[in-house]
Chains A and B, each alone.
Chain A
Amino acid sequence: MTVVERREIALVDLLDRLLAGGVVITGDITLRIADVDLVRIDLNALISSVNAQVPAPWEG
């Protein structure tokens, strides 16, 4: 078992915080990004399909 040292923040860790955490304020423009679960579901599909084709284009 290893504790992995800090490195480039994985997108998925970022999204755990930026899409599931942070203060939710329904701005006058914004979005009920609150419905983020919907966004995430789409994302799951999207990222899986991207993963299947090319290795992690968002790294770096």
Chain B
Amino acid sequence: MTTGLRYVYAVCRPFSAPLQSQLTGVGGVPPRLLHHRGLVAVVSTVPERHFAEEPLRAHLEDLDWLTETARAHQQVIDALTTVTTPLPLRLATVFRDDSAVRVMMEAREDYFRQTLGRLEGRVEWGVKVYTDAEPGELGEPERAPAKAASGRDYLRQRRDRFRAREDEWQKAEAFATRLHETLSERAEDSRLHAPQNPALSGAAGRNVLNAAYLVPRDHSEEFVELVDRTKDEASGMRVELTGPWAAYSFVGDIGGAEDEENGEGDLP
């Protein structure tokens, strides 16, 4: 292994079940396991010309490349999820060589052990709530719909429309808040993601809840049923469930981005 960089997907505890034989990761290369001090890093060798800092930064702005890489990353994490509980790393975490990966594992050993212990047997479910598309919100310019008879009528129409939208909005907020509370009670942990931009998701309506829930794999069925039942609770709303995911949203705080030197990995 002299050439190429190391792309790291995840850190796990050692597992005995084999990975799918045709599993490929980033760059179409099968991932391999790098054992070190009772932990396993799942890595692929990737070419420097694409994964050194400069080209990587450029690639990240290339939607096709990003999509392909994200899907390849996810494919490996998914495969790992069937045999163990992986601790997924952020997209495009790259090291110089195996030895640099080992150094990283050692530096964060306590964090990895604690977090893997906490996440063992858990999966993440994503739940999103959208308002149904409101014609009034989708690009209709702020103009009176029909000819208003007078200035006063015009203002009243405008105010009514505004109120209707406010009501709709408050109803959606209330529904999302209640749903989040209910689901949080059934989950070990939860996290709110930023609402998705409709331009990005292509979804109709406004995204009022974009949450992730950490649920023991064994309780997943009930959790999914619970989400399913919400369909009867409110009209004018759409609920979307995604998962099960590896616990991407619950990896804890390792010191975050600011953690330059040497992550001690102590949780706050």
Among B63, B67, B90, the residue within 8 A (CB) of A25 is B90
Instruction: Report Cα–Cα, A14/B182, bound state, in Å.
Output: 25
Among B64, B70, B89, B108, the residue within 8 A (CB) of A15 is B70
Among A1, A3, A43, the residue within 8 A (CB) of B63 is A43
Q: Cβ of A11 and Cβ of B67 under 8 Å apart?
A: yes
Instruction: Report Cα–Cα, A43/B200, bound state, in Å.
Output: 8
Among B5, B52, B199, B231, the residue within 8 A (CB) of A1 is B231
Q: Cβ of A29 and Cβ of B95 under 8 Å apart?
A: yes
Q: Cβ of B257 and Cβ of A34 under 8 Å apart?
A: yes
Stretch at the interface among B17-25, B146-154, B159-167, B235-243: B235-243
Instruction: Report Cα–Cα, A19/B60, bound state, in Å.
Output: 11
A32 CB to closest chain B CB (Å) equals 6
Q: Cβ of A27 and Cβ of B94 under 8 Å apart?
A: yes
The interface of chain A, by Cβ under 8 A from chain B, is 1-4, 6, 9-36, 39, 42-44, 46-48, 50-51, 56-58
Report B223-239 residues with CB < 8 Å from chain A CB. Answer: 227-228, 230-239
B92 on interface, CB distance cutoff 8 Å: yes
The interface of chain B, by Cβ under 8 A from chain A, is 5, 8, 11, 51-53, 56-57, 60-61, 63-64, 66-67, 70-71, 73-74, 87-96, 100, 104, 108, 115, 124, 126, 193-194, 196-197, 199-202, 210, 212, 227-228, 230-243, 245, 248-251, 254, 256-257, 259-260, 263
Assuming the contacts A3-B240, A11-B70, A34-B256, asked whether A22 and B89 have C-beta atoms less than 8 A apart, the reply is yes
Q: Cβ of A16 and Cβ of B193 under 8 Å apart?
A: yes
- Beyond the given A18-B90, A18-B248, please list 6 additional residue pairs across the A-B interface where CB-CB is below 8 A: A17-B124, A23-B11, A23-B115, A27-B95, A30-B94, A35-B257
Q: From B129, which residue of chain A is reached at the shortest CB distance?
A: A1
Instruction: Report Cα–Cα, A21/B8, bound state, in Å.
Output: 15
Among A19, A27, A46, the residue within 8 A (CB) of B91 is A19
Q: Cβ of A21 and Cβ of B200 under 8 Å apart?
A: no
Taking CB atoms, residues of chain A closer than 8 Å to B91 are: 18-19, 22, 33
Assuming the contacts A19-B90, A27-B95, asked whether A39 and B60 have C-beta atoms less than 8 A apart, the reply is yes
